[in-house]
Amino acid sequence: MEIQENISLQPYNTFGLQATARYFVEVNTLEQLVTVLKDNTFQNLPRLFLGGGSNILLTKDFEGIVIKINLQGIEKQQENELHVWLKAGAGVVWHNFVLHCIAQNWAGVENLSLIPGTVGAAPMQNIGAYGVEIKDVFDELEALNLSTLQIEKFALDDCQFGYRESVFKHIYKNQYVILSVTFRLNKTPNFHIEYGAIKDTIAEMGVQQLSIKAISDAVIHIRQSKLPNPAEIGNSGSFFKNPEIPIAQFQALKERFPAMVSFPSITPALIKVPAGWLIEQAGWKGFKDGHIGVHAKQALVLVNYGGGKGNDIKALSEKIQASVFEKFGILLHPEVNFI
């Protein structure tokens, strides 16, 4: 373990933004993590725990210590006739975990293929796509209490999962570091192909027999066709959450905008509206301002074409929020965390 000084964070965020960390360290074990946290040098400094760097917007240099969590390993904990429980380290790349499950024909996460980031970040955001969320396969997680340096376990109800929400984003923000997550996968799949273009894509691919591999392949194809590769164009995937609004408000908007799209919400009194559709209707799709802009194929994705600044992307996001609110009366909320 090597603690480095004045390290560029550009390789560690998918926006590809330049910012410097005063201190930087990668930890591969719990013991290394605890050693860093006990070090008197860093006691009074800000701390940033980093996974895949796919959900942050760096707006300035970080005058503290950045701790990259590299805890690895995927281990079967138990199984029965219906389910298998897998424990994965927080530093495992999420898509690699999905591929591992598919290779064993364990179902439940195939719709979440190609989502960037790590296993440890997945429950923080309650990541989701195409009708499936982490909470659907979540069993428990282990997290380090930063005050006591004791390991605590969180069951499903403890995490208070909501739409791209959990206790770790609000009530317990900056109080815990997730070390591992245990998932309960299904031995018999329950296919989810009703969302987005999955069903049509599977048909176009000529799939004769539906499988979790076919669903994963379809999701990967859709995502690659719509979303830019961060290795080529800096981005963090979906920049805003899909807003959930009262049904009465949606019905009133539907009269003014008949083409308005919607999806069911888990909250009966609300309905979900695609943020990308709202942004596109407000005229932002394909917008470019110097080194930054809005992706030409997916208005939900803000991009850094190279040399962009985090503050410029933040300012652009605020202009988009104001524009959408003016047109629709809906306030968009970022999924991305501003640093």
For the annotated catalytic residues, the residue numbers are: 164, 238, 335
Q: Are strands 292-294 and 302-304 parallel, antiparallel or unpaired?
A: antiparallel
Say which amino acid occupies 283.
G
On whether the CB atoms of residues 233 and 297 are closer than 8 A, the answer is no
Say which amino acid occupies 155.
A
Enclosing H/E stretch for 322: helix 310-328
Distance CA 133, CA 12 (A): 25
Burial class from Cβ neighbours inside 10 Å (0-12, 13-18, 19+) for residue 165 reads middle
Structure tokens that stand for 239 in this block: 């920049």
Say which amino acid occupies 237.
G
Note the helical H segments in 257-308. 275-281
**CA-based nearest residue to 52, from 34, 71, 33, 38:** 71
Find tokens 């979440």 and name the residue.
Answer: 112
Find tokens 């296919």 and name the residue.
Answer: 191
Collapsing DSSP to helix, strand or coil, 89 comes out as strand
In DSSP terms, 182 is beta-bridged to 87, 140
- Write the CB contacts of 328 (distance below 8 Å, at least 6 apart in sequence): 253, 257, 278, 281, 282
On whether the CB atoms of residues 272 and 243 are closer than 8 A, the answer is yes
Distance CA 167, CA 246 (A): 24
